[in-house]
Amino acid sequence: NILFWASNVIDQYPSRRVIVATHDYVHGYNYYSNSRSEIGDSMWEKLVKPHADQIFLVLSGHYENEVRITSLEDGYFVHQLLSDYQDRHNGGNGWLRIIEFSSINNEISIRTYSPYLDKYETDSNSQFILDNKITESKFILISILPWIISSQVIIPIAILIVILVKRRKQ
């Protein structure tokens, strides 16, 4: 299955750090806020938790909201972020997340911006900084599986794995 495939890809690169992007992972509804969905719990147990030494960031959508969860697993922080704006006025007004990685400051900066409105959202769920111990690195795409069939529904971008690699000294 998809989680077995993703686990194998991660296992092939044991010294690399991983970002997982998936569709349904963190609940966005107020009464479930700060919890994973049923699918997210399954992904946590089968993929994220066993690879917490490599997976440092999980990105998801599906539920209209902004939610962040940081879990500590075996001494490793795993940041899990939900951002989905499609149910907002005018189909979401183009709201998107800008994620910046700083190896100098050991942090991940998150900002929310609408190019349509030319405006930033600045509340605490939209603009924040996550601690992250990273070394000088760049992103390269290692593998992607763009479509899976689940319960007779095709779900786009089930899991996207981006793995960080150290830059070669020149």
Q: Is the pLDDT of residue 134 over 50?
A: yes
Q: How confident is the model at residue 112 (pLDDT cuts 50, 70, 90)?
A: very high
Q: Domain locations in the chain? A: 2-84+135-166
Look up residue 9 and give its amino acid: V
Is residue 132 within 8 Å of residue 99, measured between CB atoms? no
Higher-scoring residue by pLDDT: 27, 77: 77
Is residue 136 within 8 Å of residue 103, measured between CB atoms? yes
Q: How confident is the model at residue 148 (pLDDT cuts 50, 70, 90)?
A: very low
Q: What percent of the chain has pLDDT over 70?
A: 74
Residue 143: its pLDDT value, please?
59
- Going by the DSSP 8-state scheme, the letter that residue 133 receives in this structure is -
Number of H helices, E strands in the chain: 2, 10
Joined tokens for residue 61: 């959508």
Range of weakest confidence among 11-25, 83-97, 131-145, 147-161: 147-161
Q: What's the pTM value of the predicted model, to 2 decimals?
A: 0.77
Q: Is the pLDDT of residue 125 over 70?
A: yes
In angstroms, rounded to a whole number, what is the distance separating the alpha carbons of residues 36 and 44? 9
Q: How confident is the model at residue 25 (pLDDT cuts 50, 70, 90)?
A: confident
